[in-house]
Structure 1
Amino acid sequence: MLSLPELAAFLQNAHWPQIQERRPTFFSIAGFPHYENVMSNVYQFFFSTESPHDLGSLCMDALGDVIQGQSNIVPWPENEFRRTHARRELRTDNDKRLDILLHNGSDEDEWQSASTLVLIENKVYHWLANDLGEYWQFAGKQNPSCTRIGIVLGLKREDIPEPWQKDWIAVTHLEWAQAIEKRLGAYIYRAESRYVTLLLELIENIRHMSATENFQQLQFFQQNRAAIFQAEQIRRDAFLQFPEALRQSLPGYDMAGSKSESNQGWLVIYRRGSNRFKYVLSYYELFHEGTKTPTYRIQLVGASVPAEEAQKTQATLLTEEHSQYRHFEVDDNNPHHVLTKTYPLQSSSSKPLHEIIITSLKDDWQPLEKLWLNQPET
């Protein structure tokens, strides 16, 4: 385990991978940005020329663009996929399932009579452990006269087992997505706009998954995981211990709020003997990731008084000379809100965090307590 000075030196001097801000896609919002089954379902929809997207054979043509120039298997049959059927999870005799089967048969279920079959094994974050030979042999047995092309689709170029390198080719999701982008302009004028939007979201999701910094981050973590874990443990312990440190150092006040991390970093602070007004201390940003200066916020609210009384108290406090120099804020959308102040935490401070917050309470808030603390209960 590193000493604290050694850990601080690591945190300051390590060559951390750059993390680019990414806008969420439909797939990440829905919670399945890298689910293989979900992606295969979407691929089936766009590969099929029978789907209502009106993009025709765009996805097949783009796949052909990637295959041509890379494959030493068979030439890509350009003119055979004007009409394409896509089938999911083709089951073999031994109950193995191929992710996607593309064919040019007369009907989706008539793949045994198709002249060309494209077998696709879709991989995202799982390694290639599928029996490519069984897929290949089953398709050939069911349709002996067809031309077969095997494609392993992955985030990286998967290593095809030696016995099947003459039949299967490795293609990345990103190569296929970029080929679609190059061709999209010629198709977009006749396509259904909602499905063009979905296709663009799919491409953006593929770009996110394929970004090289993902692998750089993983590599960096593996190389430095002990130090990273130690730093995270210190952050977590500080986050969980902070409320108790504040509670013990703030006599005359009671506090409410969970000690667990699910509390998300806030405490309710009451002046002992009066709960009509309360302070809400928000300190989440002090312990969690952020690119800006860490801040904490103290808010005074009417805990158990009518909104009219909270607003009257607000007006009274704002007229005090003490308030004129303290830069308090007001929230006009919350009738129970009285005053708020946000405090940046200066990294140069050597005082413990709970003492810094206690100083804020003493300097800014306690001089005003006499105006609301001893008011009679209603």
Structure 2
Amino acid sequence: MHFRNLPLKFLDLHTMKKHNYSAGPCILPQEVFEKSAAAILNFNNSGLSILEISHRSKDFVAIMEEARALALDLLGLTGKGYQALFLHGGASLEFLMVPFNLMKENGKAAYLDTGTWANSAIKEAKAFGETVLVASSKPENYNHIPKGFEIPADADYFHCTSNNTIFGTQIKSFPETNIPMVCDMSSDIFSRVLDFSKFDLIYAGAQKNMGPAGTTLVVIKEEILGKTGRNIPNMLNFQQHIEKESMYNTPPVFAIYASLLTLQWLKNLGGIAAIEKINNEKAALLYTEIDRNPYFKGTANTEDRSNMNATFLLNDEANAPLFDEMWKAAGISGLPGHRSVGGYRASMYNALPLESVQVLVDVMQEFEKKVSA
């Protein structure tokens, strides 16, 4: 039975699963929940929980090896000089680790400022050397992706953020450059087909498209490392983590296991190309309604709209209590926008089904009828 076929008044909050639009931690595939739950009770019929097995055990080493290999496989980077690591600290620690490992002593790096998290990365890099701001959409409240900017050829690397969760923008076309390109893909990794070999370093917190919070995927082209002349602490040194096969210290075992399950789910679905088609369909469905419905308006420039995070407002905030009551009654969760900007944000990560988007669209259309009456 499809929830969208039921009148809103018949939807029962106590029996239906919520339509989870949370920006992160966020929705994951149902089979990942089920397999993870089983592993918590008894992993691989070992009589032990995944939460208590040794990270040096044969079972977990196999998990780590498969997760690292599968990440490279899905990105099309196997055998191309890249290493995949699962580390601690979230993308926020990578804001620090990137300049530590890539910016030379008395060097400089180029940054594109497209949102809150890009700005945070810039602040960390300033502690290591000169940061060149190639462009920023901050004056327009980050409602677009800057274009036509120049990247200095003598910078040690160029850093960008592929998708901006708070402001609902996404880079659709990446610049060409001869210096190493670093990308924070925390909120759209594995969601669309790209030539990932254009990037020399990719990092992404797991809690959007990959798994629960607690680990960060870092994909590095090895040849860019070891050129800074810096003395890098072991815990912050990518080379050290590569040498220790992503287990320099105790890894977040459960988060990596759940991430592996999610990557397996994606692989079985048909990989990134298959999920991109579904993501395009979800985004088209919702944005078509936002543009059609006279009671809503999008916040991001149309050409830069994110397929992962659709941000929108009511044209009349006086109608907010009614709309909020309706989407909550429909079993929708996590729809309010980020606390810094307000409005609404529908996060449509890989595991969100098309049916959930249809439920939201149905609510918006029903809301239009009620307000117009």
For Structure 1 versus Structure 2, the TM-score category normalised by the shorter chain is under 0.3
Higher relative contact order by CA 8 Å / sep ≥ 6: 1 or 2? 2
Q: TM-score, normalised by structure 1?
A: 0.26
The structure whose Rg is larger is 1
Q: TM-score, normalised by structure 2?
A: 0.26
